[in-house]
Amino acid sequence: MATAQSQSYRQRLLEKQRELTSEIARIESDEEQVAAADSPDVGDRANRAYDKEALFQQLEQARLILVLVREAILRMDAGTFGACVACGGAVEPKRLDAVPWARHCIACQEKQDLGVL
């Protein structure tokens, strides 16, 4: 991969890492507020349970992507960024442009989605 191209992916990965880190901090503080806002009202309680669930899912998702982003940065440092972690082939540039932290080429990702990888 050309240096300029790899630099631009690195920039995007670092940017995403920052975004996710602050998003996680924000969700965690929202969670604390939801937990602290006690109310005897049944409707409020139901809303709060719903909010908690929604925040929890956002948090899980953000943490998952953060792990993938960090792994991609490590692969970049190791010089293996852009290679599929399953077959070693090149991850399609279009795919990397859309998702720079993608671990798999399209063929392997499809296999993984089907549960056969």
If the CB atoms of residues 65 and 109 are measured against Zn ion, the closer one turns out to be 109
- Contacting Zn ion within 38-57 (CB under 5 A): none
Residue 66 to residue 63: CA distance in whole angstroms: 5
Smallest distance, Zn ion to C-beta of residue 25, A: 34
Q: Which is nearer to Zn ion, 16 or 104 (CB)?
A: 104
CB of 11 to Zn ion, least distance (A): 25
From first CA to last CA, the distance across the chain in angstroms is 26
User: Contacts with Zn ion in 78-117 (CB under 5 A)?
Assistant: 84, 86-87, 89, 105, 108
Distances (CA, A) of 73 to 16, 54, 78: 11, 29, 9
Least gap, CB of 70 to Zn ion (angstroms): 21
Read off the tokens for 10.
């690195």
Provide the 3-class DSSP secondary structure of residue 83.
strand
Instruction: Count other Cβ atoms within 10 Å, centred on residue 95.
Output: 17
Which residue, 84 or 102, is less far from Zn ion as judged by CB? 84
Instruction: Name the site residues for Zn ion (rule: CB under 5 A).
Output: 84, 86-87, 89, 105, 108
